[in-house]
Amino acid sequence: MAKFRIRVSTGKACGAGTWDKVSVCIVGRRGESPLLPLDHLGKEFTAGAEEDFEVTLPHDVGPVLLLHVHKAPLALPRPLGPLAPDDAWFCRWFQLEPPGGIPLRFPCYQWLEGAGDLLLREGAAKVSWADHHSILRRQRQEELQSRQLMYRWKTYSPGWPHCLDQATAKDLDLNVKYSVVKNTKFYMKGSSAFAELKIKGLLDRTGLWRSLREMRRMFNFRKSPAAEYVFEHWQDDTFFASQFLNGLNPVLIHRCRSLPKNFPVTDDMVAPILGPGTSLQAELEKGSLFLVDHGILSGVSTNVINGKPQFSAAPMTLLYQSPGNGPLLPLAIQLSQTPGPNNPIFLPTDDKWDWLLAKTWVRNAEFSVHEALTHLLHAHLLPEVFTLATLRQLPSCHPLFKLLIPHTQYTLYINTLARELLIAPGQVVDRSTGLGIVGFSELIQRNMEQLSYSVLCLPEDIRARGVEDIPNYYYRDDGMQIWGAVERFVSEIVGIYYPSDASVRDDQELQAWVREIFSKGFLDRESSGVPSSLDTQEALVRYVTMVIFTCSAQHSAVSAGQFDSSVWMPNLPPTMQLPPPTSKGQAQPEGFIATLPPVNATCDIIIALWLLSREPGDQRPLGTYPDEHFTEEAPQRSIAAFQNHLTQISRDIKERNQKLALPYPYLDPPLIENSVSI
């Protein structure tokens, strides 16, 4: 007979404790024990508790391999028994101390709802080829089979990345749902915003805004220093241009070495901005001209709002980096991809309202491309693919599972909720954006056909767009620092568990994970450059860095500023109610107002972006790992070094931001969530 000490840690979250009865079976190399109840007088497993138990095994099971945990409902007298709700329990970990042996930690970090069983492994991470015992090999296979039954793929829309096969968020497994605190704050926040605009009589008003002055009622809905800056500077050319660098969609601007043939800008047009002694050709050769091309919007389907057809443009915007460390300035805007007499090139020297209307059309194009592609596709749908593949192909003992699972938290929940409340027919995107669901879907299909691996890898994307040295590009500066920190961290973790390139090739679970992402996320399109297998340590480091960066920093960069940029609606209109101008000299204040979105659509979008711009509690910033999946010293040292690196980056960003009229906080590590969770 052998006595084991067992310590059990229950999570602190609301509802984490349980009244149910918990038993364990210890599985060793020479057999397994019967189920051994963990039972004291009174209640066990209260939220936040760590409790010790002593169990006696009737026979020696040998060196411990697994811990089998069984949870059974508390026996209740009828008729209450069948009516008693399932009692969920969040177990953090078990610690098993064999007689005279070294304590073994068994990470769990899972909800167990109602009656159920878990098989837990000691916390040392193991790749598949490192598991030599048949019991352990069978355990990891059975775990994956169970997860693959629970988390299935479906096609939500043709040409989109595949997603979780679940219709409603309420039906999701408890392990991927919002916590009680996060869920409560999320719905309270949405309800308060809805109620405020309803009471003000704005939410149901289908007509036009009466004036820009009246729009300030909307602006007063919620304020932030950044939103106030937008309100004060939205008409300024320098602010208009700066948003291509540090606004919501900082991923389109690229250096222009030759003017597109369908954008016939002339020297005479831009001479007032370029000044004497230079020319377009000279500036092109110098590398001081940049282009933002929204051509992907050309011919896209548009929506009907309040019974009125909406309109879209596919503009091209030429920008000039003034000498020294001067501001980026807009030089010319063409609102469609086909030049001609009905498609004038608008210039800063045009009438004030002509030029402002042209810039506003560009900002509407930014809204459409950002929300459909930069935000929804790249920063939500692809992270969902990474999340599902991780759950389906990597067992919990796998080092990459331990590394990646913090970067998947709540992603399945928020995306399922989005398919219910945002991108379903009749919901927000369909009610209140210029493209609606049909236009969004077309954009995603088009982008999926041209999406490349290099676009998702920040250093390569920066080089490909030729923007390595454009000044005041804080998205690039901060993003590159964070990419470097993540890459160093991933490199250390990979080095611990993969001693050679061959060890990468031989990990069949890793290869299945990569293959499933390629198949379900990138639809087997080899021209994307996305790998379908990984052959080297270097390739693995790059790939995992891309996944973590996309699920954390990139999402923050394109999501956290949505409300700041949009609450003053003329800066980022979600739709346009009149067609793009076909001549100059026609724009007037009344026509400008008539082009902008109606009142109800404005409010609908602002509420959504207010919700989606701020984490509703239960925050886990980049680099924080309250769930200790790694138990060995080497990865724990790497985590500590990563955290220290992020702290230094944050210090540098805060110091720079103190000197800026409009700080750029969206890639400050404490403000970056570990995962796509809102």
Neighbours of 514 (CB within 10 A): 21
How remote is the C-alpha of 536 from its chain's centroid? Answer: 27
Angle, helices 633-657 vs 474-497, to 10°: value is 170
495 is in an annotated binding site: no
125 is in an annotated binding site: no
**Per the structure block, which two tokens stand in for 11?**
């999570």
Q: Kindly give the pairing relationship between strand 316-321 and strand 289-293.
A: antiparallel
Amino acid letter, 500: S
To the nearest 5 percent, what fractions of the chain are helix, strand and coil? 45, 15, 40
Annotation-wise, does 123 bind a ligand? no
Q: Is 539 annotated as a binding residue?
A: no
- Dist CA 664 CA 560 (whole Å): 11
* Among 567, 560, 249, 618, residue whose Cα is nearest residue 413: 618
555 assigned binding-site residue: yes
> Is 496 marked as a binding-site residue?
no
Residue 35 corresponds to which amino acid? L
Contacts of 632 (CB under 8 A, 6+ apart): 123, 124, 125, 496
Peptide bond into 34 cis (omega under 30): no
Q: Which two tokens stand for residue 669?
A: 């590590």
Q: Is 398 annotated as a binding residue?
A: no
- Measured from the Cβ of residue 221, the count of other Cβ atoms closer than 10 Å reads 18
Return the amino acid letter for 340. Answer: G
Please check if 131 is assigned to a binding site: no
Whose CA is closest to 44, among 7, 80, 84? 7
Distances (CA, A) of 534 to 402, 403, 514: 19, 17, 7
HEC profile of 516-583: HHHHHHCCCCHHHCCCCCCCCHHHHHHHHHHHHHHHHHHHHHHHCCHHHHHCCHHHCCCCECCCCCCC
Instruction: Report CA-CA distances (Å) from 617 to 33, 145, 280, 538, 668.
Output: 42, 33, 51, 37, 18
Residue with tokens 């080899």: 526
Tell me how far apart the alpha carbons of residues 675 and 227 are, in angstroms, rounded to a whole number: 25
Cα–Cα distance measured from residue 632 to residue 652, given in angstroms and rounded to the nearest whole number:
31
Q: What residue numbers does the annotated binding site for Ca(2+) cover?
A: 15, 17, 39, 87-88
Q: What residue numbers does the annotated binding site cover?
A: 15, 17, 39, 87-88, 375, 380, 555, 678
Q: What residue numbers does the annotated binding site for Fe cation cover?
A: 375, 380, 555, 678
